[in-house]
Structure 1
C-alpha cells in the first residue's frame, strides 16, 4: 500500500521504518525537515497515488483536531484518515461526523508497543467501519506482531481509543504493583539480591510479563535505581480511564490508586503527609521531622 504518515517522532518514525521494511510506500511529514519526506501536508498528499488515499496521524492529542482539519482539505470521497495517537475516545465520533460530509472516513487506532514496536510489532486496537478497516488491513498486518494476536477491530468509532485507554489504565496498576513490591523487597534487610528476585519471576511465575522484563532491564542498569528521581508523569489515559469508570459506575480502585500515586510523586514534600505526621504527633506523641 501507499500511505501518508504525519508525525515522525519516537513512535511514528519507527512505524514508518517497520512499514517500509514490509514493502509499503510511506510518505512521511514532520515539522522537522531533517526527517520529513515532504515539505508540506499538501505535498505529502500529492505524492500519494491512486485511491483511496490513506493518511495516518500520529501527533499529540492537543493538536489532533487541527492536523485532521488541515489534511482533510486535501482529501475527498473514499479517502481515510486514521488517528493513531493517544487521543481521548470521546472525540472520535465528532471527528468522524465532521469528516463524513466530505466522504472521508475515519478510524481511531490505539497503538501499544513503545520504542520496542519497531522490532516486536505493535498491539493495535481499531475503531471504525468494517469497510475502512478492510482497506487498511495490509498496514495493520505489517505493524502488528507476528502470530495470531496483536490486532483487534474493537468496534465502531471510539472503540479503538477506548480500548487503548483501558489498556493504559491497567498498565498503570500493574506498574504500581511492581513498584510497591520492589520497594518492600529493598526495605527488607534479609533479602540480599532484589534484582535477582525480580529476575527469578521472569519464568514460571504467574506475574511474568513484558513489564517485568523491562523492570529487570532497569535494575540491570541501576540496581537500586539511585540515579532516577521518583517522579512519574501521566499522559492522560489514566485520568480518562478513571473518569470513564465514574461515568459508567464501574469500580476501578487499583487503577485509581495508581493514578493518584503518580500525583504524589510530583510533590517534594506532600502536604497531606504533613497533616498525617502532625496528627500522629498529637495523639501518640510520634516524632515529626522538621524542615
Structure 2
C-alpha cells in the first residue's frame, strides 16, 4: 500500500525505512529539504491514491494541530489521518471530530521503540474505529516487531500491537506506558547511585551488567544502562539534568482525576523536576526547618574571598 508520512526525524525517518523494507511505498515530507520526497503537503497528498493514509510524526502540541488542520483542507472523504506523535489523548477527539466533518477518518497511534525501532520494530498502541484501523493495518504490521514465540514455538498473539479502543485510547495507553518508564528509570538510577556511593562494591558497571540475565529486574532499559556505563563508566560526561516530555505529568494528572494512587510514578516525575535545580529551594527549606525545630546543623553557602 501507499503511505504518506509527515516528519522524517529520528523516529519518522526510521519508520519510513522500515515500512519501505516491508514492500510498501512511502511518500515522505519534512521541513528539511534534504530528507523529503516532495516539497509540500499538497504534493504529498497529490502523490497518493485514494483512499489515502497520511501518518503525522511531528512534535506534539501546535505542530501536530497545525498539520492535522492543514490535512483537513487537502484530504477527501474516506482518507485517514494517523497521529503517531506523543499527543495528549484529549487532543484526539478534537482532531477526530474536526476531520469527521469531511468524512476523513482519524487514528491515534502511541509508538514506542525509539532509535532502535528500525531493526527491532515498534510497539504500537492505537485508538480509532475498526474500519479506520483496518485501513492502516498493513502499515502497523510492517512497523511492529516480529511475533515472539512461546515454549512450543507458536507465535504469541498480540505482542507489540494492540487496538486499545476508540479514538484517544492509543495515546492514553502510550501515556501510561511512559509514566511506567519514568518510574523504572528512576529505580535503576537510584540503585546505581547507591552502588556507586559505597566503597564495598568495586565493579559497579559489572554488577549492573550481571542483572541483565536471570534476574526479575532485567529489561531493555537495564540493557541500555549497561551500554551507557560501557561508554562512560562513571557517567562523568553528562549532567544529572532530566527533562520530561509531558506524558509523565499527564499520567499523574489522570491518576488524580480517577483517584488512582501512583506514588512511584509521581515520585519519579518530581525527581526530574529536582534534577533541574542546582540548589533546591525545597531542600533549603527542609534544612532550615530541621535547624529550627531540632538544632540540626545547616551547611552555609560558601562565599568567595574578595581578595
Written as runs of structure 1 = structure 2, the 5 A alignment for 1:186-201 is: 186-201=196-211
| Pairing 1:60–2:42 present | no
Partner of 1:269: 279
Q: TM-score, normalised by structure 1?
A: 0.98
Unaligned runs of 5+ in 2: 148-155, 303-307
Unaligned runs of 5+ in 1: none
Q: Is the 8 A contact 1:77 1:104 kept in 2?
A: yes
Partner of 1:112: 112
C-alpha distance in structure 1 between counterparts of 2:298 and 2:33, whole Å: 59
How far off its partner does 1:71 sit? Answer: 1.4
CA displacement, residues 162-189 of structure 1 (integer Å, 9 cap, x when unaligned): 0000000000000000000000110111
How far off its partner does 1:93 sit? Answer: 1.0
Written as runs of structure 1 = structure 2, the 5 A alignment for 1:133-282 is: 133-147=133-147, 148=156, 149-282=159-292
C-alpha distance in structure 1 between counterparts of 2:279 and 2:253, whole Å: 27
Q: Is the 8 A contact 1:127 1:160 kept in 2?
A: yes
Partner of 1:32: 32
Partner of 1:286: 297
Partner of 2:9: 9
Mean Cα deviation higher: 130-139 or 212-221: 130-139
C-alpha distance in structure 2 between counterparts of 1:287 and 1:242, whole Å: 33
C-alpha distance in structure 1 between counterparts of 2:113 and 2:211, whole Å: 22
Q: Is the 8 A contact 1:278 1:288 kept in 2?
A: no
CA displacement, residues 172-220 of structure 1 (integer Å, 9 cap, x when unaligned): 0000000000001101110111101100000000000000000000000
Mean Cα deviation higher: 56-65 or 79-88: 56-65
C-alpha distance in structure 1 between counterparts of 2:93 and 2:252, whole Å: 20
Q: Is the 8 A contact 1:38 1:44 kept in 2?
A: yes
CA displacement, residues 127-154 of structure 1 (integer Å, 9 cap, x when unaligned): 0001111111110000000014100000
How far off its partner does 1:287 sit? Answer: 4.1
Q: How many residues align?
A: 290
How far off its partner does 1:286 sit? Answer: 1.8
C-alpha distance in structure 1 between counterparts of 2:245 and 2:135, whole Å: 31
Partner of 2:150: none
How far off its partner does 1:278 sit? Answer: 2.2
